[in-house]
Amino acid sequence: MIGNILVGLVALIHCYIVYLEMVLWDTPRGHKAFGLKPEFASASKVLAANQGLYNGFLAAGLIWGLYLGAAGFQIKIFFLICVAIAGLYGAATVGWKILFIQTVPGVLAIIALWLGW
């Protein structure tokens, strides 16, 4: 139960990231969320939308796993591992904040699923 709640939370986090990257990237809210200058945000808007799409795939995979219930255990684990790895890469290349936004919730969900299995 706790594992699925955490998986749902990670999926919601990624849905919000999709919204930030695909819709709000070139707005004051997007600038603040990602520490962007307006010129850079405008120039990189298409790249951010592509990045948002990938985050959407992560959220979709997690939601699919939740939908399948117990039969979706491996799917949830796979997509959580993808989330954790993407967070590690982002933390190493962009900023440490990503570690706490992506990797930590993903790893906690993995642990909770394994303990509940």
For the stretch 56-71, what's the b/e string if a residue is b when 16 or more beta carbons lie within 10 angstroms of its beta carbon?
Answer: bebbebbbebbeeeee
Cβ neighbours of residue 3 closer than 8 Å, sequence gap 6 or more: 76, 109, 112, 113, 114, 115, 116, 117
Domain regions of the chain by residue span: 2-116
Query: Is the pTM of the predicted complex or chain greater than 0.85?
Result: yes
The model's confidence at residue 58, banded by pLDDT at 50, 70 and 90, is very high
Mean pLDDT, range 33-55, rounded to an integer: 94
Cα gap 9→82, rounded to integer Å: 15
Angle, alpha carbons 12-16-22 (nearest 5°): 140
Mean pLDDT (whole number) for 64-80: 97
Predicted confidence at residue 33, as pLDDT, reads 92
Confidence of residue 62 (pLDDT cuts 50, 70, 90): very high
Q: Is the per-residue pLDDT at 117 higher than 70?
A: no
